[in-house]
Amino acid sequence: MALSLGDVPELHEFLRWLRARNGRAGGPRVRYTGADLPGSLGSPLPALEAIAAHLDACDPEALPALERARELVGRLHDPAPMKALLGYPSADQAERDALTAALGELSARIQRSARAQRAAGREAGHAVAAHHLRGAWLLDHLHRSFTDEGIEAASTYRDLYLAETVLHLLEQDPAARVVLVAHNWHVKKAPEPFGSGELFPAGHHLAAELGTDYRAIGLTSRTGRTAVASGDLTGVDGFPFQEAPLPPLEEAAIESAFPGTAPWALADLRAAGAATDAAEYTRMRMADYFCDQPALDCFDAIVCVAETNGTAHTRG
């Protein structure tokens, strides 16, 4: 999970609950898997480690390229993901280019062998390895884009991979139902205007591929507190987010359409087109501010809770 979000105790508590639920007899088991780019956006090293056994067994001639990529990544790797990301622009250009070339070679080799692996009955394992490597390659391009275009455009490589992970899971198990848990910005279906163009969130890619089988459900709150980026994004001095108060509701915000008395409410926005005041709600909460984001264009449904608070990590 990106940006150290996998470190929060609430997530670990949820996973313990999920394991306990799966351990009880009756009902379908619920699997959990990461969907984000490798290394919490910091380093592709975990993805390279994940494909080593597959290449050793299926394409040993690719191992020199893998070792070259590992060695180059090792020079940029840092246990603090954001420190690795923010340190990338200062890395030697020749080393950055060599890493991109090595990852490109590995990607080409694994694509070239897909048909042979399918014929050998190793299609599933090969698909998993190819997806790991795809994540490493996209993360490298995120780093390069971050240097040249800024984090807004660079982060769309992440959205592409989030969507591809969902599609990969569906290819492995077409009967599965996948719940992608991510920030509203990532799951929404509408592109985000940016400069003279647009940024495409994961939900936009999924809606294009899956049509009405994709349901985008936003989550927001009327009051409370939220988490915002801290002054130290590297995470060296602790969790890279801190708690901040939510601003008062605005009339044009979709949150103001929900009753203030209910602990939570779910609105089916697909049925909201007939509402006479639907067009009035053009804004929505985003971290500790409101943004121009018509909820009816972005989501199929909205869950609004009465109050939110940050994880304990955001108060330390």
**pLDDT tens string 234-290:** 555 556 788 899 999 999 999 999 998 899 999 999 887 666 677 788 999 998 999
Pseudo-torsion of CA 185, 77, 38, 48, nearest 10°? 160
Residue 237: the pLDDT is: 53
Q: Where do the structural domains in the chain lie, given as residue ranges?
A: 2-181, 217-315
Tokens of 62: 């690719």
Question: Hey, what long-range contacts does 86-95 have (CB within 8 A, 24 or more apart)?
Answer: 86/233, 86/234, 88/143, 88/146, 88/147, 89/146, 89/147
pLDDT of residue 272: 78
Q: Which two tokens stand for residue 301?
A: 């449904």
Helix (H) or strand (E) holding 275: none
pLDDT band with cut points at 50, 70 and 90 for residue 312: confident
Is 79 within 8 Å of 161 (Cβ atoms)? Answer: no
Cα–Cα distance list, 80 to 65, 76, 77, 86, 240 (Å): 26, 11, 9, 10, 10
HEC assignment per residue over 214-244? CCCEEEEEEEEEEEEECCCCCCCCCCCEEEE
pLDDT in tens, 69-126: 999 999 888 877 888 888 888 889 999 999 999 999 999 999 999 999 999 999 999 9
Give CA–CA dist 59/45, Å, rounded: 19
Q: How remote is the C-alpha of 24 from its chain's centroid?
A: 30
pLDDT of residue 80: 79
Percent residues over pLDDT 90 in the chain: 71
In terms of Cβ atoms closer than 10 Å to its own Cβ (0-12, 13-18, 19+), residue 209 is middle
pLDDT for position 83: 82
pLDDT tens for each residue of 32-78: 999 999 988 889 999 999 999 999 999 999 999 999 999 999 988 88
